[in-house]
């Protein structure tokens, strides 16, 4: 679905005067503090977040699904949903595919369709945490780490197949989230599981084209509750280092124990040049997958502050970070939840861009922690939404994407088109 430009312009018409007043006030304030507003607007265009194709299906709780109707029924309809999200927000110019939930049956057509929406294919994701009906060996006791070489071989071959699909679509990276682990002490030989995993990953790494990157995601617990084979960033980075210069760690916000200092992990990885991917969500209790910025917006701001500083002074030659939303919309309309998440990401990024880093470095040298807090709070306390709206306006998007989607009643249009009871592949 593509929204006609006149519809967006008509929507913006009613808000434009109020917007112009608040934007020029913000611009003046920021420029007085020495910030280059035009530069921030340009940088915002480079912040493109991948939307995973599994994020658009029916939502629910972790135990049940409740259809809202009109969900995309196949890959091309998912591309259309993501195209709409990008048209409305201008910060979702990537999509991330999950195999086997979304096997491209006509890759050329899907690629062309994505291209028409201004979308590029980001990392492809493999799945060895579920058994598929047509597979020979079960992953009940692991995949890349399994004690049986035949099971490991099957999991390696699956990852190679995912790379092949990615090549057809123009992807340049593979994300491996390895769900292997154990539920009971003594169940698994921890050393053997790790070494088997390294050996399996090496075969996948060697299969990747020269210009591809491998992202290794970690998680301390879940789905297994005693051990996971790649529980933390240290293990992930060890594996990435052992594999070579095209392997990186992937940080998922929800994959940490409570109160972990994630911004420091981000800072360390960028310093070592090993932060490849970043998955956004938020959490209150564990890996709750709730909307980005809904629980800990200050943490998100601090993470972006490390990214902005680290990438501006990139001593470790860290590559451009592949961003993706990896959350569950639960009972919300998935498109609205994704738009809200994108808004929060953009807002945190803008706020991190208006930290006076020069002054911060100076007060750090003076050990002046009070002034350091003043500098951070000054940036965080700004209402930077007018800047985001200005970015949208200049890129012919609605000033307020959530309000626009609701006013246009787009979900209703999709229910008319696709039906009210729809099955969508994914979790
Ligand atoms: Mn993730």
156-211 confidence digits (pLDDT tens): 999 999 999 999 999 999 999 999 999 999 999 999 999 999 999 999 999 999 99
> Mind listing the pLDDT tens digit for each residue in 272-295?
999 999 999 999 999 988 999 999
Cα-to-centroid distance, 18 and ligand 1 (Å): 39
Q: Cα of 256 to ligand 1 centre, how many Å?
A: 11
CA of 145 to the centre of ligand 1 (A): 19
Global model pTM greater than 0.85: yes
Q: CA–CA separation, 348 vs 346, rounded Å?
A: 6
Whole-number Å distance between alpha carbons of 338 and 340: 5
Q: What is the DSSP string of 87-124?
A: HHHS---EEEEETTTT--SSHHHHHHHHHHTT-EEEEE
Bond into 223 cis (ω within 30): yes
Task: Determine the distance separating the centroid of ligand 1 and the alpha carbon of 16, expressed in angstroms.
Answer: 38
Of 78, 101, 62, 15, the closest CA to residue 335 belongs to 78
H/E run at residue 376: helix 369-381
Q: Count CB-CB contacts under 10 A for residue 64.
A: 7
Distance 321 CA to ligand 1 centre (A): 14
Rg (CA), the chain: 22
Task: Dig out the tokens for 319 from the structure.
Answer: 């590559």
Query: Could you give the CA distance from residue 427 to residue 415 in angstroms, rounded to a whole number?
Result: 21
Q: No. of H helices and E strands in the chain?
A: 16, 12
Instruction: Say which DSSP state 176 is in.
Output: E
Please answer whether residues 400 and 15 qualify as being in contact, where contact means their C-beta atoms are separated by less than 8 angstroms: yes
- In the reported structure, the alpha carbon of residue 176 is separated from the centroid of ligand 1 by a whole-number distance in angstroms of 9
Residue carrying the six token digits 């009109």: 70
pLDDT in tens, 325-349: 999 888 899 999 999 999 999 999 9
CA 189 / ligand 1 centre spacing (Å): 26
CA distance 85 to 91: 9
Note the pLDDT of residue 44.
97
Q: What is the pLDDT of residue 426?
A: 67
Which runs of consecutive H residues, i.e. helices, occur in 136-177? Answer: 149-169
Residues written for the chain: 427
Give the Å distance between the CA of 326 and the centre of ligand 1: 5
Which tokens go with 405? 């989607």
3 Cα: distance to centroid of ligand 1 (angstroms): 31
pLDDT for 63: 81
Per the DSSP assignment, residues forming a β-bridge with 324 are: 50, 279
Query: What are residue 228's DSSP bridge partners?
Result: 181
- Strand 227-228 with 181-182, pairing: antiparallel
Flag whether pLDDT at 378 surpasses 70: yes
pLDDT (0 to 100) of residue 427? 60
User: What's the 270 CA to ligand 1 centre distance in angstroms?
Assistant: 18
Lowest-confidence segment of 68-72, 94-98, 122-126 by average pLDDT: 68-72
Q: How confident is the model at residue 68 (pLDDT cuts 50, 70, 90)?
A: confident
Alpha helices in 208-322 (DSSP H): 233-243, 262-271, 297-312
- Ligand 1 centre to CA of 367 (Å) is 37
Beta-bridge partner residues of 150: none
On the 0-12 / 13-18 / 19+ scale of CB atoms within 10 A, 262 is buried
């Amino acid at each position: 679905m593509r929204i006609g430009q006149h519809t967006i312009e008509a929507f913006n018409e009613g808000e434009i005067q109020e917007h112009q007043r608040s934007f020029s006030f913000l611009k003046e304030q920021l420029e007085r503090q020495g910030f280059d507003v035009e530069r921030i607007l340009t940088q915002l265009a480079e912040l493109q977040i991948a939307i995973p194709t599994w994020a658009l299906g029916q939502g629910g709780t972790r135990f049940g699904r409740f259809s809202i109707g009109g969900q995309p029924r196949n890959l091309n309809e998912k591309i259309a949903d993501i195209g709409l999200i990008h048209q409305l927000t201008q910060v979702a110019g990537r999509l991330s595919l999950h195999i086997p939930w979304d096997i491209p049956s006509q890759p050329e057509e899907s690629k062309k369709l994505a291209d028409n929406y201004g979308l590029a294919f980001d990392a492809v994701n493999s799945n060895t945490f579920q058994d598929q009906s047509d597979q020979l060996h079960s992953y009940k006791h692991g995949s890349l780490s399994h004690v049986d070489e035949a099971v490991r071989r099957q999991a390696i071959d699956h990852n190679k197949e995912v790379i092949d699909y990615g090549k057809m679509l123009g992807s340049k990276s593979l994300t491996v989230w390895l769900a292997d682990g154990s539920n009971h002490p003594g169940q698994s030989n921890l050393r053997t599981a790790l070494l088997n995993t390294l050996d399996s990953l090496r075969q996948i790494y060697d299969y990747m084209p020269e210009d591809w990157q491998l992202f290794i995601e970690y998680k301390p617990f879940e789905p297994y509750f005693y051990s996971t084979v790649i529980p933390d960033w240290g293990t992930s980075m060890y594996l990435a280092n052992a594999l070579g210069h095209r392997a990186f760690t992937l940080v998922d916000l929800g994959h940490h124990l409570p109160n972990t200092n994630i911004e420091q992990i981000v800072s360390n990885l960028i310093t070592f040049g090993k932060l490849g991917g970043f998955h956004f969500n938020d959490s209150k209790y564990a890996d709750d997958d709730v909307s980005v910025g809904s629980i800990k917006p200050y943490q998100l701001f601090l993470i972006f502050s490390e990214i902005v500083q680290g990438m501006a002074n990139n001593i470790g030659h860290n590559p451009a970070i592949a961003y993706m939303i990896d959350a569950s919309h639960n009972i919300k309309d998935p498109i609205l939840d994704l738009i809200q998440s994108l808004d929060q990401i953009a807002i945190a990024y803008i706020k991190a861009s208006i930290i006076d880093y020069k002054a911060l470095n100076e007060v750090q040298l003076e050990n002046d922690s009070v002034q350091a807090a003043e500098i951070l709070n000054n940036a965080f306390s700004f209402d930077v939404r007018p800047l985001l709206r200005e970015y949208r306006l200049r890129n012919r998007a609605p000033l307020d994407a959530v309000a626009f989607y609701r006013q246009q009643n787009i979900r209703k249009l999709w229910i008319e088109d696709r039906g009210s009871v729809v099955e969508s592949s994914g979790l």
